[in-house]
Amino acid sequence: MLLHLLVLAPFVAAILMVATSKEDHRSSSRLAFLFGIAFVVMSILLIAGGNQATEAIEWFHIPGTRGSVYYYLYSHGLGAWMVFLSTVLSLTALVMARNTLSYNYRNFAIGIFALMGAMNGTFLAADAVLFFFFFEAMVIPAAVLIAGFGGDERKKAAMTFAIFTLVGSAPMMVSLWYLLTVADNSLLLSLAVALQNLDPSTQTALLASFLLAFLVKTPIFPFHGWQAITYAEAPAPLSAILTGAMSKAGVFGFIAWILPIFPLSMSAVDAMMWLGLLTAIYGALMALRATDGKKLLAYSSMGHLGLAVAGVFSLSEAMLPAVLVLLVAHGLSAGAQFYLMGIAERFAGTRDIEQLGGLASRNPVFSSLFGFLAVLSLAVPGTAGFVGEFTVLMSLWDMGPIPALAAGLCLILSASYVLRFVQKVIFGKPAREYEDGTRMTALEGSSIGIMGVLLLVFGMHPAFITNALQLFDEQAVEEMNRITHPEAAPATVESSVEHPAEVVDDVTVDENIAAVAQPMTEEDLRQLDSNLKANGFTDEERASLIAQLKSMSESEVADAHGDALESNEAKATEEASENE
Protein backbone atom coordinates (compact mmCIF):
# COMPACT_ATOMS: atom_id res chain seq x y z
CA MET A 1 0.00 0.00 0.00
CA LEU A 2 2.82 2.41 0.87
CA LEU A 3 4.41 1.99 -2.57
CA HIS A 4 1.09 2.60 -4.31
CA LEU A 5 0.53 5.74 -2.22
CA LEU A 6 3.93 7.22 -2.99
CA VAL A 7 3.40 6.77 -6.73
CA LEU A 8 -0.31 7.48 -7.16
CA ALA A 9 -1.17 9.83 -4.27
CA PRO A 10 0.90 12.76 -5.66
CA PHE A 11 -1.23 12.70 -8.80
CA VAL A 12 -4.36 12.68 -6.62
CA ALA A 13 -2.92 15.63 -4.67
CA ALA A 14 -2.38 17.49 -7.94
CA ILE A 15 -6.02 16.94 -8.87
CA LEU A 16 -7.24 18.07 -5.45
CA MET A 17 -5.15 21.24 -5.71
CA VAL A 18 -7.33 22.26 -8.67
CA ALA A 19 -10.20 22.76 -6.22
CA THR A 20 -8.26 25.37 -4.19
CA SER A 21 -8.37 29.11 -4.75
CA LYS A 22 -6.20 30.52 -7.50
CA GLU A 23 -6.28 33.98 -5.93
CA ASP A 24 -5.66 33.07 -2.30
CA HIS A 25 -2.20 31.55 -2.39
CA ARG A 26 -2.06 31.20 1.40
CA SER A 27 -4.94 28.74 1.59
CA SER A 28 -3.53 26.84 -1.40
CA SER A 29 -0.12 26.69 0.22
CA ARG A 30 -1.49 25.31 3.48
CA LEU A 31 -3.08 22.35 1.69
CA ALA A 32 0.07 21.84 -0.39
CA PHE A 33 2.20 21.80 2.77
CA LEU A 34 -0.02 19.13 4.35
CA PHE A 35 0.29 16.93 1.28
CA GLY A 36 4.04 17.52 1.10
CA ILE A 37 4.61 16.65 4.77
CA ALA A 38 2.55 13.47 4.36
CA PHE A 39 4.70 12.36 1.43
CA VAL A 40 7.93 13.04 3.33
CA VAL A 41 6.66 10.91 6.23
CA MET A 42 5.78 8.13 3.76
CA SER A 43 9.28 8.23 2.27
CA ILE A 44 10.83 7.91 5.74
CA LEU A 45 8.59 4.91 6.46
CA LEU A 46 9.66 3.43 3.13
CA ILE A 47 13.32 3.62 4.12
CA ALA A 48 12.64 2.23 7.59
CA GLY A 49 10.58 -0.65 6.18
CA GLY A 50 13.41 -2.12 4.10
CA ASN A 51 12.84 -3.86 0.77
CA GLN A 52 9.18 -3.91 -0.17
CA ALA A 53 7.22 -5.02 -3.21
CA THR A 54 3.67 -4.92 -4.48
CA GLU A 55 1.87 -7.79 -6.15
CA ALA A 56 2.69 -7.92 -9.85
CA ILE A 57 -0.50 -7.02 -11.72
CA GLU A 58 -0.71 -7.82 -15.43
CA TRP A 59 -1.30 -4.46 -17.07
CA PHE A 60 -1.44 -4.76 -20.87
CA HIS A 61 0.16 -6.51 -23.82
CA ILE A 62 2.18 -4.67 -26.49
CA PRO A 63 1.38 -5.97 -30.01
CA GLY A 64 4.24 -7.97 -31.48
CA THR A 65 5.81 -8.86 -28.13
CA ARG A 66 5.89 -12.19 -26.33
CA GLY A 67 4.88 -11.36 -22.78
CA SER A 68 2.80 -8.89 -20.82
CA VAL A 69 3.64 -5.62 -19.12
CA TYR A 70 3.13 -5.58 -15.35
CA TYR A 71 2.28 -2.88 -12.87
CA TYR A 72 4.92 -3.94 -10.37
CA LEU A 73 6.61 -1.69 -7.80
CA TYR A 74 9.68 -2.63 -5.81
CA SER A 75 11.59 -0.59 -3.23
CA HIS A 76 15.24 -1.23 -2.42
CA GLY A 77 17.65 1.02 -0.54
CA LEU A 78 18.73 3.01 -3.59
CA GLY A 79 15.19 3.68 -4.82
CA ALA A 80 13.89 4.48 -1.33
CA TRP A 81 16.52 7.17 -0.76
CA MET A 82 15.85 8.69 -4.17
CA VAL A 83 12.16 8.88 -3.25
CA PHE A 84 13.21 10.61 -0.02
CA LEU A 85 15.08 13.25 -2.04
CA SER A 86 12.07 13.66 -4.33
CA THR A 87 9.64 14.29 -1.48
CA VAL A 88 11.92 16.47 0.68
CA LEU A 89 12.97 18.73 -2.18
CA SER A 90 9.39 19.00 -3.43
CA LEU A 91 8.13 20.03 0.01
CA THR A 92 10.89 22.64 0.32
CA ALA A 93 10.09 23.90 -3.19
CA LEU A 94 6.48 24.42 -2.13
CA VAL A 95 7.69 26.40 0.89
CA MET A 96 10.01 28.59 -1.21
CA ALA A 97 7.39 29.23 -3.89
CA ARG A 98 4.97 30.73 -1.38
CA ASN A 99 6.88 34.03 -1.46
CA THR A 100 8.52 33.69 -4.88
CA LEU A 101 5.58 32.55 -7.05
CA SER A 102 2.60 33.71 -5.03
CA TYR A 103 0.85 35.11 -8.13
CA ASN A 104 -0.06 31.59 -9.34
CA TYR A 105 0.88 29.28 -6.50
CA ARG A 106 -1.90 26.75 -7.09
CA ASN A 107 -0.79 25.89 -10.61
CA PHE A 108 2.83 25.61 -9.50
CA ALA A 109 1.85 23.16 -6.74
CA ILE A 110 -0.14 21.09 -9.25
CA GLY A 111 2.96 20.77 -11.43
CA ILE A 112 5.21 19.92 -8.49
CA PHE A 113 2.95 17.08 -7.30
CA ALA A 114 2.67 15.67 -10.82
CA LEU A 115 6.46 15.78 -11.14
CA MET A 116 6.87 14.11 -7.73
CA GLY A 117 4.57 11.25 -8.73
CA ALA A 118 6.52 10.67 -11.95
CA MET A 119 9.87 10.73 -10.12
CA ASN A 120 8.65 8.33 -7.45
CA GLY A 121 7.36 5.99 -10.14
CA THR A 122 10.73 6.07 -11.88
CA PHE A 123 12.56 5.08 -8.70
CA LEU A 124 10.09 2.37 -7.66
CA ALA A 125 9.13 0.71 -10.96
CA ALA A 126 10.28 -2.92 -11.26
CA ASP A 127 8.90 -3.39 -14.77
CA ALA A 128 10.97 -1.96 -17.63
CA VAL A 129 8.00 -0.53 -19.53
CA LEU A 130 6.57 0.99 -16.36
CA PHE A 131 9.98 2.48 -15.60
CA PHE A 132 10.24 3.95 -19.09
CA PHE A 133 6.72 5.40 -18.82
CA PHE A 134 7.54 7.32 -15.64
CA PHE A 135 11.06 8.13 -16.89
CA GLU A 136 9.51 10.01 -19.83
CA ALA A 137 6.52 11.32 -17.88
CA MET A 138 8.86 13.42 -15.71
CA VAL A 139 9.60 15.63 -18.71
CA ILE A 140 6.02 16.90 -19.16
CA PRO A 141 5.35 18.64 -15.80
CA ALA A 142 8.95 19.89 -15.63
CA ALA A 143 8.75 21.46 -19.10
CA VAL A 144 5.34 23.02 -18.35
CA LEU A 145 6.63 24.53 -15.09
CA ILE A 146 9.67 25.97 -16.84
CA ALA A 147 7.55 27.50 -19.61
CA GLY A 148 5.01 28.89 -17.17
CA PHE A 149 7.18 30.17 -14.31
CA GLY A 150 10.70 30.56 -15.72
CA GLY A 151 12.81 33.57 -16.66
CA ASP A 152 12.98 35.67 -19.82
CA GLU A 153 14.08 32.74 -21.99
CA ARG A 154 11.75 30.22 -20.37
CA LYS A 155 10.11 29.02 -23.60
CA LYS A 156 13.48 28.35 -25.24
CA ALA A 157 14.66 26.56 -22.10
CA ALA A 158 11.51 24.41 -21.93
CA MET A 159 11.79 23.43 -25.61
CA THR A 160 15.51 22.64 -25.30
CA PHE A 161 14.91 20.52 -22.22
CA ALA A 162 12.00 18.60 -23.76
CA ILE A 163 13.69 17.96 -27.12
CA PHE A 164 17.01 16.79 -25.64
CA THR A 165 15.46 14.42 -23.11
CA LEU A 166 12.73 12.98 -25.35
CA VAL A 167 14.97 12.50 -28.39
CA GLY A 168 17.69 11.01 -26.19
CA SER A 169 15.23 8.40 -24.91
CA ALA A 170 13.78 7.47 -28.32
CA PRO A 171 16.45 4.79 -29.10
CA MET A 172 15.82 3.26 -25.67
CA MET A 173 12.12 2.95 -26.49
CA VAL A 174 12.89 1.09 -29.74
CA SER A 175 15.43 -1.15 -28.02
CA LEU A 176 13.03 -1.93 -25.21
CA TRP A 177 10.37 -2.95 -27.73
CA TYR A 178 12.89 -5.22 -29.47
CA LEU A 179 13.83 -6.83 -26.16
CA LEU A 180 10.18 -7.52 -25.43
CA THR A 181 9.91 -9.46 -28.69
CA VAL A 182 12.47 -11.98 -27.40
CA ALA A 183 11.85 -11.84 -23.62
CA ASP A 184 9.05 -13.60 -21.77
CA ASN A 185 7.95 -10.32 -20.14
CA SER A 186 9.26 -6.86 -19.27
CA LEU A 187 10.61 -7.67 -15.79
CA LEU A 188 14.31 -7.27 -15.13
CA LEU A 189 15.12 -10.97 -14.74
CA SER A 190 13.43 -11.90 -18.00
CA LEU A 191 15.23 -9.12 -19.91
CA ALA A 192 18.60 -10.22 -18.51
CA VAL A 193 18.02 -13.82 -19.62
CA ALA A 194 16.87 -12.75 -23.09
CA LEU A 195 19.94 -10.56 -23.56
CA GLN A 196 22.28 -13.47 -22.89
CA ASN A 197 20.91 -15.27 -25.95
CA LEU A 198 21.52 -12.37 -28.36
CA ASP A 199 24.66 -11.97 -30.45
CA PRO A 200 27.31 -9.51 -29.17
CA SER A 201 26.65 -6.86 -31.84
CA THR A 202 22.96 -6.73 -30.92
CA GLN A 203 23.82 -6.53 -27.23
CA THR A 204 26.14 -3.60 -27.94
CA ALA A 205 23.48 -1.72 -29.91
CA LEU A 206 20.89 -2.22 -27.16
CA LEU A 207 23.38 -1.16 -24.50
CA ALA A 208 24.25 2.02 -26.41
CA SER A 209 20.59 3.04 -26.67
CA PHE A 210 19.96 2.55 -22.94
CA LEU A 211 23.18 4.38 -22.05
CA LEU A 212 22.24 7.33 -24.27
CA ALA A 213 18.94 7.88 -22.45
CA PHE A 214 20.63 7.88 -19.04
CA LEU A 215 23.58 9.99 -20.21
CA VAL A 216 21.23 12.71 -21.45
CA LYS A 217 19.07 12.69 -18.34
CA THR A 218 21.99 12.94 -15.86
CA PRO A 219 23.51 14.81 -17.93
CA ILE A 220 26.99 13.65 -18.94
CA PHE A 221 29.32 15.40 -21.39
CA PRO A 222 28.77 15.82 -24.36
CA PHE A 223 25.00 15.33 -23.89
CA HIS A 224 24.59 18.26 -21.50
CA GLY A 225 23.44 20.97 -23.92
CA TRP A 226 20.06 21.36 -22.23
CA GLN A 227 21.24 21.66 -18.65
CA ALA A 228 22.70 25.16 -18.16
CA ILE A 229 19.87 27.11 -19.82
CA THR A 230 17.22 24.88 -18.19
CA TYR A 231 18.54 25.24 -14.66
CA ALA A 232 19.15 28.98 -15.15
CA GLU A 233 15.73 29.82 -16.60
CA ALA A 234 13.63 27.52 -14.43
CA PRO A 235 12.32 29.04 -11.18
CA ALA A 236 14.79 28.33 -8.38
CA PRO A 237 12.47 25.92 -6.47
CA LEU A 238 12.12 23.82 -9.63
CA SER A 239 15.85 24.00 -10.41
CA ALA A 240 16.52 22.52 -6.97
CA ILE A 241 14.28 19.54 -7.77
CA LEU A 242 15.80 19.08 -11.23
CA THR A 243 19.35 18.91 -9.90
CA GLY A 244 18.65 17.28 -6.53
CA ALA A 245 16.20 14.53 -7.54
CA MET A 246 15.31 14.33 -11.22
CA SER A 247 18.94 14.20 -12.44
CA LYS A 248 19.44 11.17 -10.18
CA ALA A 249 17.19 9.16 -12.52
CA GLY A 250 20.12 8.81 -14.92
CA VAL A 251 22.55 7.50 -12.29
CA PHE A 252 19.77 5.31 -10.90
CA GLY A 253 19.28 3.84 -14.38
CA PHE A 254 22.94 2.89 -14.62
CA ILE A 255 22.83 1.04 -11.30
CA ALA A 256 19.34 -0.49 -11.31
CA TRP A 257 18.97 -1.33 -15.02
CA ILE A 258 22.29 -1.28 -16.91
CA LEU A 259 24.47 -3.25 -14.48
CA PRO A 260 21.99 -6.07 -13.69
CA ILE A 261 20.83 -6.63 -17.29
CA PHE A 262 23.71 -6.02 -19.68
CA PRO A 263 26.93 -8.05 -19.87
CA LEU A 264 29.52 -5.26 -19.86
CA SER A 265 32.96 -5.63 -21.39
CA MET A 266 35.92 -4.02 -19.65
CA SER A 267 36.30 -1.59 -22.56
CA ALA A 268 32.73 -0.36 -22.03
CA VAL A 269 33.30 -0.04 -18.28
CA ASP A 270 36.51 1.93 -18.79
CA ALA A 271 34.86 4.20 -21.37
CA MET A 272 31.99 5.05 -19.04
CA MET A 273 34.33 5.66 -16.11
CA TRP A 274 36.47 8.08 -18.12
CA LEU A 275 33.40 9.79 -19.55
CA GLY A 276 32.23 10.42 -15.99
CA LEU A 277 35.63 11.81 -14.98
CA LEU A 278 35.76 14.02 -18.09
CA THR A 279 32.32 15.36 -17.18
CA ALA A 280 33.46 16.06 -13.61
CA ILE A 281 36.49 18.04 -14.77
CA TYR A 282 34.56 19.86 -17.50
CA GLY A 283 31.76 20.82 -15.10
CA ALA A 284 34.23 22.15 -12.53
CA LEU A 285 36.09 24.25 -15.13
CA MET A 286 32.85 25.69 -16.49
CA ALA A 287 31.71 26.55 -12.96
CA LEU A 288 34.98 28.41 -12.40
CA ARG A 289 34.26 30.82 -15.25
CA ALA A 290 30.48 31.15 -14.81
CA THR A 291 29.04 34.52 -13.75
CA ASP A 292 25.38 33.50 -13.61
CA GLY A 293 24.85 32.04 -10.13
CA LYS A 294 22.36 29.40 -11.26
CA LYS A 295 24.53 28.34 -14.20
CA LEU A 296 27.46 28.03 -11.81
CA LEU A 297 25.41 25.67 -9.65
CA ALA A 298 24.27 23.78 -12.76
CA TYR A 299 27.84 23.10 -13.84
CA SER A 300 28.76 22.21 -10.26
CA SER A 301 25.94 19.65 -10.23
CA MET A 302 27.17 18.29 -13.55
CA GLY A 303 30.65 17.80 -12.08
CA HIS A 304 29.41 15.95 -9.00
CA LEU A 305 27.15 13.67 -11.01
CA GLY A 306 30.02 12.94 -13.39
CA LEU A 307 32.03 11.83 -10.38
CA ALA A 308 29.11 9.62 -9.30
CA VAL A 309 28.94 7.96 -12.73
CA ALA A 310 32.70 7.34 -12.63
CA GLY A 311 32.21 5.73 -9.23
CA VAL A 312 29.41 3.51 -10.54
CA PHE A 313 31.61 2.11 -13.30
CA SER A 314 34.57 1.53 -11.00
CA LEU A 315 32.61 -1.64 -10.09
CA SER A 316 34.47 -1.93 -6.82
CA GLU A 317 33.12 -3.61 -3.71
CA ALA A 318 32.47 -0.25 -2.03
CA MET A 319 30.91 1.31 -5.14
CA LEU A 320 27.22 1.10 -4.27
CA PRO A 321 27.28 2.55 -0.73
CA ALA A 322 29.80 5.20 -1.84
CA VAL A 323 27.66 6.37 -4.75
CA LEU A 324 24.45 6.30 -2.71
CA VAL A 325 25.92 8.52 0.02
CA LEU A 326 27.30 10.86 -2.67
CA LEU A 327 23.90 11.10 -4.39
CA VAL A 328 22.04 11.84 -1.16
CA ALA A 329 24.62 14.41 -0.09
CA HIS A 330 24.60 16.10 -3.49
CA GLY A 331 20.79 16.14 -3.63
CA LEU A 332 20.52 17.93 -0.29
CA SER A 333 23.44 20.36 -0.72
CA ALA A 334 22.81 21.29 -4.37
CA GLY A 335 19.09 21.67 -3.74
CA ALA A 336 19.71 23.92 -0.74
CA GLN A 337 22.13 26.09 -2.73
CA PHE A 338 19.60 26.58 -5.53
CA TYR A 339 16.98 27.60 -2.98
CA LEU A 340 19.42 30.11 -1.48
CA MET A 341 20.35 31.46 -4.90
CA GLY A 342 16.67 32.00 -5.59
CA ILE A 343 16.34 33.99 -2.36
CA ALA A 344 19.43 36.05 -3.29
CA GLU A 345 17.93 36.82 -6.70
CA ARG A 346 14.63 37.80 -5.09
CA PHE A 347 16.43 40.08 -2.61
CA ALA A 348 18.93 41.73 -4.97
CA GLY A 349 17.05 41.51 -8.28
CA THR A 350 19.80 39.65 -10.14
CA ARG A 351 21.56 36.30 -10.23
CA ASP A 352 24.75 37.71 -11.81
CA ILE A 353 27.38 37.14 -9.13
CA GLU A 354 29.39 40.09 -10.48
CA GLN A 355 26.43 42.34 -9.58
CA LEU A 356 25.99 40.93 -6.10
CA GLY A 357 28.27 41.26 -3.08
CA GLY A 358 27.96 42.74 0.38
CA LEU A 359 24.99 40.61 1.43
CA ALA A 360 26.75 39.77 4.70
CA SER A 361 26.10 43.30 5.94
CA ARG A 362 22.68 43.81 4.34
CA ASN A 363 21.21 40.36 5.06
CA PRO A 364 23.34 38.66 7.74
CA VAL A 365 21.00 35.76 8.57
CA PHE A 366 20.74 34.73 4.93
CA SER A 367 24.50 35.15 4.44
CA SER A 368 25.28 32.94 7.44
CA LEU A 369 23.09 30.17 6.08
CA PHE A 370 24.54 30.66 2.59
CA GLY A 371 28.10 30.31 3.90
CA PHE A 372 27.17 27.33 6.07
CA LEU A 373 25.69 25.38 3.13
CA ALA A 374 28.62 26.35 0.92
CA VAL A 375 31.07 24.86 3.43
CA LEU A 376 28.98 21.69 3.63
CA SER A 377 29.07 21.37 -0.18
CA LEU A 378 32.89 21.43 -0.05
CA ALA A 379 32.80 17.92 1.41
CA VAL A 380 34.77 18.81 4.53
CA PRO A 381 35.24 16.00 7.09
CA GLY A 382 32.16 15.39 9.15
CA THR A 383 29.73 15.95 6.26
CA ALA A 384 27.89 13.45 4.07
CA GLY A 385 29.61 14.92 1.03
CA PHE A 386 33.02 14.01 2.47
CA VAL A 387 31.96 10.40 3.09
CA GLY A 388 30.53 10.05 -0.41
CA GLU A 389 33.36 11.71 -2.32
CA PHE A 390 36.16 10.08 -0.34
CA THR A 391 34.72 6.57 -0.73
CA VAL A 392 34.17 7.16 -4.46
CA LEU A 393 37.78 8.30 -4.64
CA MET A 394 38.86 5.05 -2.97
CA SER A 395 36.71 3.07 -5.40
CA LEU A 396 38.41 4.77 -8.33
CA TRP A 397 41.79 3.98 -6.81
CA ASP A 398 40.96 0.31 -7.42
CA MET A 399 40.91 1.16 -11.15
CA GLY A 400 44.36 2.73 -10.93
CA PRO A 401 46.10 5.88 -9.67
CA ILE A 402 45.29 8.00 -12.75
CA PRO A 403 41.47 7.86 -12.33
CA ALA A 404 41.90 8.63 -8.63
CA LEU A 405 44.14 11.62 -9.43
CA ALA A 406 41.58 12.91 -11.95
CA ALA A 407 38.86 12.66 -9.30
CA GLY A 408 41.12 14.43 -6.81
CA LEU A 409 41.59 17.28 -9.30
CA CYS A 410 37.80 17.63 -9.50
CA LEU A 411 37.60 18.04 -5.72
CA ILE A 412 40.28 20.75 -5.76
CA LEU A 413 38.50 22.63 -8.56
CA SER A 414 35.18 22.38 -6.72
CA ALA A 415 36.71 24.08 -3.68
CA SER A 416 37.97 26.88 -5.94
CA TYR A 417 34.63 27.73 -7.54
CA VAL A 418 32.63 27.38 -4.31
CA LEU A 419 34.93 29.80 -2.45
CA ARG A 420 34.75 32.22 -5.41
CA PHE A 421 30.96 31.91 -5.34
CA VAL A 422 30.79 32.73 -1.63
CA GLN A 423 33.18 35.68 -1.98
CA LYS A 424 31.23 37.19 -4.88
CA VAL A 425 27.79 36.82 -3.29
CA ILE A 426 28.08 37.66 0.41
CA PHE A 427 31.44 39.39 0.95
CA GLY A 428 32.94 42.63 -0.28
CA LYS A 429 30.92 45.70 -1.19
CA PRO A 430 27.72 45.76 -3.23
CA ALA A 431 28.54 46.05 -6.93
CA ARG A 432 25.52 48.31 -7.53
CA GLU A 433 22.78 50.18 -5.74
CA TYR A 434 19.45 48.43 -5.44
CA GLU A 435 16.39 48.39 -3.24
CA ASP A 436 16.14 45.38 -0.96
CA GLY A 437 13.60 42.81 -2.05
CA THR A 438 11.78 40.17 -0.02
CA ARG A 439 13.99 38.69 2.67
CA MET A 440 14.24 35.07 3.67
CA THR A 441 11.40 34.07 5.97
CA ALA A 442 11.75 31.96 9.10
CA LEU A 443 9.96 29.04 7.40
CA GLU A 444 12.29 29.19 4.41
CA GLY A 445 15.38 29.41 6.60
CA SER A 446 14.21 26.52 8.77
CA SER A 447 13.53 24.29 5.75
CA ILE A 448 16.97 24.91 4.29
CA GLY A 449 18.61 24.66 7.71
CA ILE A 450 17.11 21.19 8.24
CA MET A 451 18.73 20.06 4.99
CA GLY A 452 22.08 21.30 6.31
CA VAL A 453 21.58 19.44 9.58
CA LEU A 454 20.83 16.25 7.65
CA LEU A 455 24.12 16.63 5.81
CA LEU A 456 25.92 16.73 9.15
CA VAL A 457 23.96 13.82 10.62
CA PHE A 458 24.58 11.62 7.58
CA GLY A 459 28.23 12.64 7.63
CA MET A 460 28.66 11.62 11.25
CA HIS A 461 26.66 8.41 10.83
CA PRO A 462 26.46 7.36 7.14
CA ALA A 463 25.08 3.99 8.20
CA PHE A 464 21.67 5.68 8.25
CA ILE A 465 21.96 5.61 4.46
CA THR A 466 24.08 2.56 3.73
CA ASN A 467 22.18 0.16 6.01
CA ALA A 468 19.20 0.39 3.67
CA LEU A 469 21.16 -1.03 0.74
CA GLN A 470 20.05 -4.27 -0.85
CA LEU A 471 19.15 -3.99 -4.50
CA PHE A 472 17.23 -7.23 -5.11
CA ASP A 473 16.60 -9.75 -2.35
CA GLU A 474 15.73 -13.41 -2.84
CA GLN A 475 12.02 -12.77 -2.49
CA ALA A 476 12.04 -10.26 -5.36
CA VAL A 477 14.02 -12.60 -7.62
CA GLU A 478 11.65 -15.48 -6.81
CA GLU A 479 8.64 -13.29 -7.61
CA MET A 480 10.11 -12.28 -10.98
CA ASN A 481 10.94 -15.91 -11.71
CA ARG A 482 7.42 -17.00 -10.76
CA ILE A 483 5.92 -14.47 -13.14
CA THR A 484 8.31 -15.41 -15.93
CA HIS A 485 7.83 -19.19 -15.51
CA PRO A 486 4.42 -19.61 -13.82
CA GLU A 487 4.02 -23.29 -14.79
CA ALA A 488 7.59 -24.49 -14.24
CA ALA A 489 7.06 -26.10 -10.82
CA PRO A 490 3.69 -27.79 -11.55
CA ALA A 491 5.00 -29.16 -14.84
CA THR A 492 7.87 -30.85 -13.05
CA VAL A 493 5.58 -32.52 -10.52
CA GLU A 494 3.15 -33.63 -13.19
CA SER A 495 5.94 -35.13 -15.27
CA SER A 496 7.23 -37.17 -12.33
CA VAL A 497 3.74 -38.50 -11.56
CA GLU A 498 2.80 -39.47 -15.10
CA HIS A 499 6.12 -41.15 -15.91
CA PRO A 500 7.45 -42.64 -12.64
CA ALA A 501 9.38 -45.41 -14.34
CA GLU A 502 10.70 -43.47 -17.29
CA VAL A 503 14.46 -43.87 -17.73
CA VAL A 504 16.41 -41.45 -19.88
CA ASP A 505 18.67 -43.04 -22.43
CA ASP A 506 22.25 -43.06 -21.15
CA VAL A 507 23.71 -42.55 -24.59
CA THR A 508 21.67 -39.38 -25.09
CA VAL A 509 22.76 -37.98 -21.72
CA ASP A 510 26.41 -38.64 -22.41
CA GLU A 511 26.17 -37.12 -25.86
CA ASN A 512 24.55 -34.00 -24.39
CA ILE A 513 27.33 -33.68 -21.81
CA ALA A 514 29.95 -33.91 -24.51
CA ALA A 515 28.13 -31.37 -26.64
CA VAL A 516 27.74 -28.84 -23.82
CA ALA A 517 31.22 -29.22 -22.34
CA GLN A 518 33.11 -26.83 -24.57
CA PRO A 519 36.27 -24.94 -23.61
CA MET A 520 35.76 -21.35 -22.46
CA THR A 521 36.76 -18.75 -25.05
CA GLU A 522 38.76 -15.62 -24.29
CA GLU A 523 35.57 -13.56 -24.57
CA ASP A 524 33.89 -15.84 -22.00
CA LEU A 525 36.82 -15.38 -19.64
CA ARG A 526 36.75 -11.59 -20.06
CA GLN A 527 33.03 -11.53 -19.36
CA LEU A 528 33.55 -13.72 -16.29
CA ASP A 529 36.28 -11.39 -15.05
CA SER A 530 33.95 -8.41 -15.45
CA ASN A 531 31.17 -10.16 -13.52
CA LEU A 532 33.54 -11.23 -10.74
CA LYS A 533 34.82 -7.68 -10.41
CA ALA A 534 31.27 -6.33 -10.24
CA ASN A 535 30.62 -8.72 -7.35
CA GLY A 536 33.57 -7.51 -5.31
CA PHE A 537 36.32 -10.09 -6.07
CA THR A 538 39.85 -8.72 -5.74
CA ASP A 539 42.37 -8.75 -8.59
CA GLU A 540 44.26 -11.68 -7.04
CA GLU A 541 41.10 -13.74 -6.51
CA ARG A 542 39.92 -13.15 -10.07
CA ALA A 543 43.29 -14.02 -11.56
CA SER A 544 43.48 -17.23 -9.53
CA LEU A 545 39.97 -18.36 -10.48
CA ILE A 546 40.46 -17.65 -14.16
CA ALA A 547 43.82 -19.45 -14.19
CA GLN A 548 42.17 -22.51 -12.64
CA LEU A 549 39.36 -22.40 -15.18
CA LYS A 550 41.84 -22.19 -18.05
CA SER A 551 43.75 -25.23 -16.79
CA MET A 552 40.60 -27.22 -16.03
CA SER A 553 38.59 -26.33 -19.12
CA GLU A 554 40.44 -28.39 -21.74
CA SER A 555 41.00 -31.41 -19.48
CA GLU A 556 37.35 -31.51 -18.40
CA VAL A 557 36.13 -31.24 -21.97
CA ALA A 558 38.46 -34.07 -23.02
CA ASP A 559 37.28 -36.20 -20.09
CA ALA A 560 33.65 -35.53 -20.95
CA HIS A 561 34.16 -36.57 -24.56
CA GLY A 562 36.12 -39.65 -23.45
CA ASP A 563 33.46 -40.69 -20.96
CA ALA A 564 30.76 -40.27 -23.59
CA LEU A 565 32.75 -42.38 -26.08
CA GLU A 566 33.39 -45.13 -23.52
CA SER A 567 29.73 -45.17 -22.52
CA ASN A 568 28.61 -45.41 -26.13
CA GLU A 569 31.04 -48.29 -26.79
CA ALA A 570 29.87 -50.15 -23.67
CA LYS A 571 26.26 -49.68 -24.69
CA ALA A 572 26.98 -50.97 -28.21
CA THR A 573 28.78 -54.05 -26.76
CA GLU A 574 25.82 -54.84 -24.50
CA GLU A 575 23.37 -54.56 -27.39
CA ALA A 576 25.55 -56.88 -29.55
CA SER A 577 25.69 -59.45 -26.75
CA GLU A 578 21.93 -59.39 -26.35
CA ASN A 579 21.42 -59.84 -30.10
CA GLU A 580 23.74 -62.88 -30.13
Q: pLDDT tens digits for 280-297? A: 999 999 999 999 999 999
pLDDT computed for residue 359 by the predictor: 84
**Residue-averaged pLDDT of the chain:** 83
Which residues in 17-60 belong to E strands, given as ranges? 52-53, 57-60
Q: List, for residues 459-510, the tens digit of each pLDDT value.
A: 999 988 988 776 555 555 565 656 655 655 444 333 333 344 343 344 443 4
What is the pLDDT, as a whole number, of residue 135?
95
Binned at pLDDT 50, 70 and 90, residue 556 comes out as very low
Task: List the end-to-end C-alpha distance of the chain, in Å, as a whole number.
Answer: 74
Q: Which residue has the higher pLDDT, 156 or 501?
A: 156
Lowest-confidence segment of 388-397, 436-445, 476-485 by average pLDDT:
476-485
Cα separation of 368 and 100, whole Å? Answer: 21
Is the pLDDT assigned to residue 109 strictly greater than 90?
yes
Alpha helix stretches (DSSP H) within 499-538: 506-516, 522-534
SS3 content of the chain, % helix, strand, coil (to 5): 75, 5, 20
Q: Which of 22-26, 343-347, 521-525 has the highest mean pLDDT?
A: 343-347
pLDDT tier, 578 (very low <50, low <70, confident <90, very high otherwise): low
Instruction: Say if residue 217's pLDDT is above 70.
Output: yes
Q: What is the mean pLDDT of residues 441-445?
A: 91
Helices (H), 378-441: 384-397, 401-426
Average the pLDDT over 338-356 and give the result: 89
More confident residue, 536 or 24: 24
Residue 303 Cα distances to 54, 148, 316, 521, angstroms: 36, 28, 21, 39
Top-confidence residue, 576 or 533: 533
Please tell me the distance from the alpha carbon of residue 561 to that of residue 569, in angstroms, as a whole number: 12
pLDDT beyond 70 at 454: yes
Residue 148 near residue 106, CB atoms below 8 Å:
no
* Res 129: pLDDT: 93
Return d(Cα 496, Cα 494) in angstroms, integer: 5
Task: Give the SS3 label for residue 351.
Answer: coil
pLDDT bucket at 258, cuts 50 / 70 / 90? very high
User: If you ran DSSP here, which 8-state letter would residue 440 be given?
Assistant: P
What share of the chain in percent tops pLDDT 70? 80
pLDDT at 176 over 70: yes
Q: Does position 405 have pLDDT exceeding 70, yes or no?
A: yes
C-alpha torsion 127→129→133→136, nearest 10: 110
For position 521, what pLDDT does the model report? 66
| Per-residue CA distances from 27 to 9, 102, 109 (Å) | 20, 11, 12
Q: Has residue 373 got a pLDDT over 80?
A: yes
pLDDT of residue 518: 46
Which stretch of 233-242, 308-317, 469-478 has the lowest confidence by average pLDDT?
Answer: 469-478
Element (H, E) at 487: none
In this prediction, residues 124-144 reach a mean pLDDT of: 94
Higher-pLDDT residue of 45 and 535 is 45
pLDDT score at 472: 54
Per-residue pLDDT, 541: 63
Mean pLDDT of 398-427: 90
**pLDDT score at 339:** 94
Please indicate whether residue 520 or residue 438 has the higher confidence score (pLDDT). Answer: 438
